[in-house]
A and B are shown apart, each in its own frame.
Chain A
Amino acid sequence: AQSVTQLDSQVPVFEEAPVELRCNYSSSVSVYLFWYVQYPNQGLQLLLKYLSGSTLVKGINGFEAEFNKSQTSFHLRKPSVHISDTAEYFCAVTSLSGGSYIPTFGRGTSLIVHP
């Protein structure tokens, strides 16, 4: 079984400040990890994913995440946020189940960027 814990339900931050959204996972097998963003009244958009290779993954909109196997974490970071980054962020983990890969999502972290 696999699970994802997003440690903060809400993260307020001022514009141009750095931000880190935390994600921990548990799985008994090799995992693949994802971060998605959801803007109001929209579906989810893929920010970045870790499949293998370099543990530092760069995504869209200036976001990056680091895979840490020993700490079973995949935290998302951005050095300087903008008002437009205000959204819900979801971490997801997947492994093989029933012949295909089905992502399990965390509960989400609401990033609120203040001017």
Chain B
Amino acid sequence: KAGVTQTPRYLIKTRGQQVTLSCSPISGHRSVSWYQQTPGQGLQFLFEYFSETQRNKGNFPGRFSGRQFSNSRSEMNVSTLELGDSALYLCASSPGQGTNARDLDYTFGSGTRLTVV
């Protein structure tokens, strides 16, 4: 079966611009989470969606937002880009509601590498 698909794979943006990243989960997976990965901070949780509702949010400024559609596809948006937003953005999907640890079969996409210049 198809894995988690993230588009685009690479992106170069200028400071002050905004960007939208897309994530298509594995068919049947309803929970989608986003992570920011940088060499200095490692993997940091951004937000988690289930059934079009944001269920958890990490400690990021309001410039970072996301949404989930009825087909479970998710997008994240970063407005007013800063140099420090350069990172690999990873999306992960899981099959269940995420309320039971046994549902935690996260499958990660290959990520979108965002470079802000």
Contact = CB atoms under 8 A, between A and B. Distances in A.
Given A43-B4, A43-B110, A90-B43, A49 B104 contact: yes
B25 interface: no
Interface in B3-55: 4, 6, 31, 33, 35, 42-43, 45, 48, 50, 55
A51 interface: yes
Interface residues of A, number: 26
A49 B6 CA distance: 25
Given A100-B97, A107-B42, A43 B55 contact: no
B93 to A, nearest CB: 11
B101 A101 contact: yes
A34 interface: yes
Given A43-B109, A43-B111, A97-B56, A102 B45 contact: yes
